[in-house]
Amino acid sequence: MNDTLWDYCQEYELVFTRSRAYRKNDQAWVEQKNGAIARKLIGYGRLEGLAATAALRRLYEASRLYVNFFQPSFKLKGKEREGAKVRKDYDSPETPFRRLFLRDDIPEDSKQQLQQQFELLDPVRLLKHIRDAQDAIVAISET
């Protein structure tokens, strides 16, 4: 945790905890997503300073949109144990946006907002923003 996050929590009177009660393995799920998305984009180097923060912010803004709107992923439907072997069954790959859009419990106005945002996005431009932010992070880490 850094001082900025701590100050933010204090300013907005947010209760800060390390994980949910009785869920000691929450951190593993966060780290899994870090490995699957964030670490592939930025690596494992330590970044410090305002310039690195700004570059990471640009990278996360572009990658969040790209991953949620254009990057399909498998979703686990279920598991069956056959002796020592576990057989996993997956849905067909879909983007998080598409999965959310197909749900019945999401209000129509929210779906319309997401659809409008999707129509404004260009995956090639998002990839260029990601690459530019990665180049900026590499330049910062080399100094």
Span 19-50, pLDDT tens digits? 667 766 666 555 666 667 877 888 888 888 88
pTM, whole model, 2 decimals? 0.71
For tokens 């959310």, the residue is 100
For the cut 70, the answer to whether the pLDDT of residue 70 exceeds it is yes
Residue 28's pLDDT is: 58
The structure tokens listed for 9 are 């929590």
Is a pLDDT exceeding 80 seen at residue 132?
Answer: yes
For residue 59, with 0-12 CB atoms within 10 Å meaning exposed, 13-18 middle and 19 or more buried, which class applies?
A: buried
Q: What is the pLDDT of residue 68?
A: 92
Mean pLDDT on 63-84:
92
In terms of Cα–Cα distance, which of 55, 77, 64 is closest to 132?
Answer: 55
